[in-house]
Amino acid sequence: MAKSSFIERHFRIIFPLPAVLFIVVMMLFPVVYTLFLSFTNWNLTSGMPLSLVGFKSYARVLREPRFLEAIGRTFSFTAIAVVVETVLGLAVALLLNREFKGKSMMKLILLLPLVATPVAIGIVWNLFFDPTIGLANYALSLFGLPRAAWVSSARSVIPSLALVDIWQWTPMIALIVLAGLAGLSQEPYESAKVDGANAFQIFRKITLPMISPTLLTAMILRTVDALKTYDIIYAMTGGGPGYSSETLNVMAYKYSFEYFRMGQSSVILVFLFLLVLAFSLGIMALRKRFEL
């Protein structure tokens, strides 16, 4: 064998180096910079140079009812969406988990919402939700129900937006669980059949425990993404009516690029960042602990 070259001796550093440098410059540096800005009162429109103010921006944002409401909204949107998506997704996956003609067609259909442009999806749903010409109210009228305000009332806007998220992302959970189900060992099922277990017992005692690691991972992925949902909310309501659909992401966007209060928007970003990070780390720790 020839004498190993410089590249070969330092292979494990040289090969990942460009990617790591890129991530450091484009992600790590901005995050640190945001953290720094959160301790300033910088406002891009005031023309004043930025000055360090300690935790003053934190205090201001934390006293803001709008901020606390945004946190609550982010959680409720995420909770509604992920819970419904998990239940529906699991049900769809169980139904599809058999050999039948058209299975590949069904999978293709389920893929479509996942690759559809969220902004465009939001606009199509806005047409559905339109109070006067929308199909959503037409569907209600067919059942003799009164018109609903959907995204144009503060009370129904979050569930309506969650409905769009559910439409778009339930297939994701279904496809992940379906792939997981395909990989399960058939042995326990055969012995359960011998023992005369019914379908529900088989689901409770065999399928659910075996699929739960996959299901949990799918839920984590969905939760992280739902916490950061931006496109659909911004395109459909812009955070309105009033602030009633303003999640942390949308609020941070407005503070940064509409009000240019960089110090305060950094505080919101730090919170959003910590929220996602804490959630991911917490779940990872839980998984390790219970060896899921």
Partner 1 sequence: MRTSATKRILFFLLMLCIAVPVLFPFLWMLSSSFKTQVDIVAWPPRIIFSPIIDNYIRVFAEQNFLRYFKNSLIVGLCAVGFSLLLGLPAAYSIARFKQKKLSVFILVARLMPGISFLMPWYIIFSRLRLMDSYVALILSHMLIALPIVVWIMSSYFESIPLEMEESAMVDGATRQKAFLSIILPIATPGIVTSITLSFIFSWNNFMFSQVLSMEKTKTLPIAVYNFVSYAEVDWGAVMAAAVAIMTPAIILTMIFQKYVVKGLTMGAVKG
Peptide bond into 241 cis (omega under 30): yes
The pair of structure tokens assigned to 171 is: 């297939």
Question: Which segment (10-18, 54-62, 149-157, 191-199) binds partner 1 by CB under 8 A?
Answer: 10-18
The 10 Å Cβ neighbour count of residue 12 is: 8
- Would you count residue 259 as binding partner 1 (CB under 8 A)? no
- Would you count residue 55 as binding partner 1 (CB under 8 A)? no
- Would you count residue 46 as binding partner 1 (CB under 8 A)? no
HEC letters along 19-87: HHHHHHHHHHHHHHHHHHHCCECCCCCCCCCCCECCCHHHHHHHHCHHHHHHHHHHHHHHHHHHHHHHH
User: Of 207 and 214, which has the nearer Cβ to partner 1?
Assistant: 214
**146: DSSP letter:** P
Please, which of residues 169-208 interact with partner 1 by CB under 8 A? 171-172, 175-176, 178-180, 183
- Burial of residue 85, with CB atoms counted within 10 A of its CB: 0-12 exposed, 13-18 middle, 19 or more buried: buried
Please, which of residues 82-121 interact with partner 1 by CB under 8 A? 92, 95-96, 100, 102, 104, 106-121
- Would you count residue 286 as binding partner 1 (CB under 8 A)? no
CB of residue 158 to partner 1, shortest distance in Å: 19
Count of residues of this chain found to bind partner 1 when the rule CB under 8 A is applied: 90
Distances (CA, A) of 149 to 107, 118, 132, 158, 163: 34, 22, 10, 12, 14
User: Of 142 and 194, which has the nearer Cβ to partner 1?
Assistant: 142
- Would you count residue 33 as binding partner 1 (CB under 8 A)? yes
Helix axes 118-129, 135-142, angle to 10 degrees: 40
- Would you count residue 145 as binding partner 1 (CB under 8 A)? no
The pair of structure tokens assigned to 87 is: 């239940």
The 10 Å Cβ neighbour count of residue 83 is: 13
CB of residue 172 to partner 1, shortest distance in Å: 7
- Would you count residue 235 as binding partner 1 (CB under 8 A)? yes
CB of residue 283 to partner 1, shortest distance in Å: 11
Question: Which segment (56-64, 144-152, 189-197, 218-226) binds partner 1 by CB under 8 A?
Answer: 218-226
User: Of 80 and 92, which has the nearer Cβ to partner 1?
Assistant: 92
- Would you count residue 19 as binding partner 1 (CB under 8 A)? yes
Binding partner 1 (rule: CB under 8 A), the pick from 202, 231, 240, 243 is 231
Binding partner 1 (rule: CB under 8 A), the pick from 161, 252, 264, 267 is 252
- Burial of residue 193, with CB atoms counted within 10 A of its CB: 0-12 exposed, 13-18 middle, 19 or more buried: exposed
CB of residue 170 to partner 1, shortest distance in Å: 8
